[in-house]
Amino acid sequence: MEYNHYNIKNDFPILLREVRPGTRLVYLDSTATAQKPRVVIDAMSQYYELNNANIHRGIHQLAEEATEMYELAREKIAQFIHAHNTKEVIFTRNTTESINLVVQTWGRKFLQAGDLVILTEMEHHSNLVPWQMLAAEKNIQLEFIPVRENGELDFNHFDQLLEKNPKFVAFTHMSNVLGTINPAKEMIQKAHAAGALVLVDGAQSVPHFSVDVQDLDADFYAFSAHKMCGPTGVGILYGKEKLLDSMPPFLGGGDMIKKVLLRSFKENDIPHKFEAGTPAIAEAIGFGKAVDYLTQIGMDNIAAHEKKITQYALQKLKSIENLKIFCPDVPDRGGVISFEMGLIHPHDVAQVLDHYGIAVRAGHHCAMPLHEKFGLPATSRASFYLYNDFEDVDLLVIGLQHVNELFA
């Protein structure tokens, strides 16, 4: 279909509001969380109005309707990422929980003292801290692929690390700070050749371009609904069926069991083995509707649109005095631009922009080690999505000019 960002913007109620009289919202913080289209909001409201019931347990009509809607969402998500089957799609709360699930089940069962896990210096804290916790507990070794000055990973160093017989490799598909899109398929092939399993943090990739987990041959792939026009509180862990079958349950409780005795239990089959307790039913249904929405627009169309907006923004930002883009030379990047403005603190930048209705992020973006590597306590970050347009960029540029004027 033809990409019309004006029509798309009208699909999002929040983007039509004025944050103050005469000042419309310019939302440039989609890397933190994306806005929700009306179809997602309506789908969740309809569930609560007409179908609200717990799933998998009841035989009355509402329970059967809710179960069908929940499992239909799983089917849509499996198709969206090209999973082999729905058993490989686990509902979690978010990307963070998905990664923790792998660390605390596969990692705790199969990693031994001295085993090597390879990460990167550009990881979000969610793909650092869980491994650090396990390393402290089990004395496993963590090594890191360095980030080069241009924002790319040092693949020569990665090759050297692979010679040390790692058991596991975990990395982000796209950096939430640099916008760098890592060559996931090539990295997975190399890791597998070295005998390691691979987890990919797809929080910033699945919302923005087409991802095929079978083509990538990813062992595990994690992402969240709220970054791809869906609700908060629900995410996905994709895992190869054989691996998921080999892993112990993550949480104990209802729905993850087949039988319970006073002193023992028998675990359920996947995917239910990893979905203890009442899940986020309405959120899963909203997630499914978000997948429908993105599919209708087309992920290739979204990726192409974001590339145009990002290139336009990179060019326009060159006119701003005192502004330095964080690693501007990345050849293959997503719609994320982090920057600094001399001695002006990023929080001040964000506050001034907010006065003009422009929402950006300021801070270390849950990537403190990456900022420390480049000697920066924090940066400002503008991020773009399917509903942003050139006018949004122009208003950002005007807002940044006001920042310089105010702090001159």
pLDDT the model gives residue 81: 98
DSSP state of 124: -
Query: Is the domain of 281 the same as that of 156?
Result: yes
How many domains does the structure of the chain reveal? 2
| Catalytic one of 366, 368, 376, 397 | 366
Give me the numbers of helices (H) and strands (E) for the chain, helices first please: 15, 17
Instruction: Extract the tokens encoding 207.
Output: 């919302």
Q: List C-alpha distances in Å: 45 to 91, 168, 227, 282, 293.
A: 20, 42, 20, 8, 17
The verdict on whether 229 is a catalytic residue reads: no
Q: Is residue 35 part of a domain?
A: no
pLDDT the model gives residue 246: 97
List phi, psi (to 5°) of 236.
Answer: -135, 140
Query: Last residue of some domain: 252, 268, 295?
Result: 295
- Whole-number Å distance between alpha carbons of 72 and 405: 53
Strands 18-20 and 26-27 turn out to be: unpaired
Query: Is the domain of 138 the same as that of 16?
Result: no
Domain with 354, as residue range(s), is 5-30+299-406
- What is the sign of the dihedral through the CA atoms of 73, 74, 79 and 80? positive
Query: Is the domain of 197 the same as that of 246?
Result: yes
pLDDT the model gives residue 27: 98
Task: Give the mean pLDDT per block of 10 residues along the chain (408 residues).
Answer: 74 94 96 98 98 92 97 98 98 98 98 98 97 97 96 97 98 96 98 98 98 98 98 98 96 89 91 95 98 97 96 95 86 91 95 97 92 92 97 97 92
Residue 157, Cβ density class (10 Å: 0-12 exposed, 13-18 middle, ≥19 buried): middle
- Whole-number Å distance between alpha carbons of 240 and 244: 6
pLDDT the model gives residue 4: 74
Query: Is the domain of 242 the same as that of 166?
Result: yes
**The sheet that has 197-201: what strands, in order across it?**
89-92, 235-239, 220-224, 197-201, 168-172, 116-120, 141-145
